[in-house]
Amino acid sequence: SLCPGYKQVDAFGPDDDCEDEEEVSYVTLDLGSVEPSLLPSSASYRLIGLDTPTPFLQLSGTVLKGRHESLLGTELVFADGKDASADRSRRTVAYLASTKQRVCFKEVRLQPKGEGKEKDKEPRADEDNGRHALDRTTGKQAPPPRKKRTKKKAED
């Protein structure tokens, strides 16, 4: 034995610690000032890039751009409970999950790539009120573009 107290192992038994387990995490979506009638009237939705810094949500024809926020506390999520009584004034709820993350969405207007030269009053989805665009890899604000260098002629 190389070290006292340790022994050589030729084969490992079944490893209970390394089983593939599916981890479920809940994130609440804050739709902010979205028209209240839009949610019930939307038959379907598209949630794109939830695991990216800027997810997008499409409800009918409305496009929303989101940003992740960490909550200071824990938000509890409840579902309607199964109540056997017919009394509607006493509603029961059942605990479903808890979360510490929220995605806050705001409505944006997307423009086709070919219309980038035209000046518009509303910012595009990748701009933030005249500031520089977000870096697609990091999700942070990209640095301003460099100015072109001009060559100086050496005087003799």
pLDDT of amino acid 116: 55
Quick: pLDDT tens for 39-74.
Answer: 777 778 888 998 899 999 888 778 889 999 998 999
Does the domain spanning 28-111 belong to CATH 3.90.870.10?
no
What is the H or E stretch that residue 41 is in?
A: helix 38-41
| Annotated domain spans of the chain | 28-111
| 57 neighbors 29 (Cβ within 8 angstroms) | yes
- What pTM does this model have? 0.53
